[in-house]
Amino acid sequence: MHELWFNEQNSENYQVKWRVKKVLHHETTPYQELVILETEEWGKVLVLDGAFQVTEKDEFIYHEMIVHVVMNSHPNPAKVLIIGGGDGGTLRELCRHQRLKSVDMVEIDERVVANCRQYLPSIASAFADSRLKLYFADGIEFVKNTAEKYDVVIVDSSDPVGPAVELFGTAFYNNLDAILHDDGMVVVQSESPLYYTEAFKNTYNNLKSVFPLVKVYLADIPTYVSGPWSFTVGSKKHDPTEICAEAEKQYGLKYYNDNVHRGAFCLPSYIEAILRGNE
Ligand code: SAM
């Protein structure tokens, strides 16, 4: 029998090949090509437009890090907005927090949520949480038009191509600024500084043009090429490098802890140089 491999094409010159046991689902939604695979070594995975989004093996690193850093550095993160995040991993981590009183989640593609609930239930495990209001809409339009105000916004978007391009731009960040309380914070996944240097740099500079305090932190997520993955926080008041006194201790996590929180903001020299504009 023929071997089945999935080629993830990161550029004309760089592919990652994943050995596949079974194609569980394949469809073209109104927004993107959606594939769910069962792989030999990474468990079940979600692929959108040819790019790996989450794998069962390492999703905990990304989801713990995009959620717990901001939730533990904001003194009262009661009302939170997630943009994107259709696989449900960010929501799962957020719902561990008892100080969370309500979460609005705006995902453009309802087929992502439906398929992740069916095929990736360990990731999509919190959609029944009573604090959740789920909207299937464009996050860009939602942020422009909502009258709600939030303590924390988490932008868990796909790469800056297709429907996610504007989620990395200044106009979107200005609208986020307007819907955040005076001590609000936003965290965005901001790509690989080594491999997607332009996208990383632009995200940082765009956030800097809007928020007084902008900080980058890193995590190693093998699924995402290449090198450490970055997250960038824009904050109106609180320093995201500090764990605040009110932070809830999270138990049962596999990656995040107090030392990781602080250490993740220590940046290698080549990344500091990119942020200074020297690269
Ligand atoms: N962890 C992932 C990564 O970095 O590869 C991202 C996970 S999540 C699957 C990304 C989600 O963002 C997708 O489900 C996609 O449909 C959604 N998305 C893209 N553009 C969007 C937009 N404009 N508004 C709301 N959701 C959007």
Task: Note down pLDDT in tens along the chain; length 279 residues.
Answer: 678 999 999 888 999 999 999 999 999 999 999 999 999 999 999 999 999 999 999 999 999 999 999 999 999 999 999 999 999 999 999 999 999 999 999 999 999 999 999 999 999 999 999 999 999 999 999 999 999 999 999 999 988 877 788 899 999 999 999 999 999 999 999 999 999 999 999 999 999 999 999 999 999 999 998 889 999 999 999 999 999 988 887 778 999 999 999 999 999 999 999 999 866
User: Domain coordinates of the chain in residue numbers?
Assistant: 4-55, 59-276
Q: What is the DSSP letter of 119?
A: H
User: How is 201-264 classified by DSSP, letter by letter?
Assistant: HHHHHHHHTT-SEEEEEEE--TTSSSSSEEEEEEESSS-TTSPPTTPPPP-S-SS--HHHHHHT
Active-site hit among 58, 109, 138, 156: 156
CATH (one of 3.40.50.300, 3.30.465.10, 2.30.140.10, 1.10.10.10) for 4-55? 2.30.140.10
Phi, psi of 43 (to 5 degrees): 70, -155
Tokens for 138, please give them.
């464009």
CATH (one of 3.40.50.150, 2.60.120.10, 3.90.1150.10, 3.50.50.60) for 59-276? 3.40.50.150
The atom of ligand 1 lying closest to the CA of 142 is 24
**Is 163 near ligand 1, meaning CB less than 6 Å away?**
yes
Decide if 156 is catalytic: yes
**Is 189 near ligand 1, meaning CB less than 6 Å away?**
yes
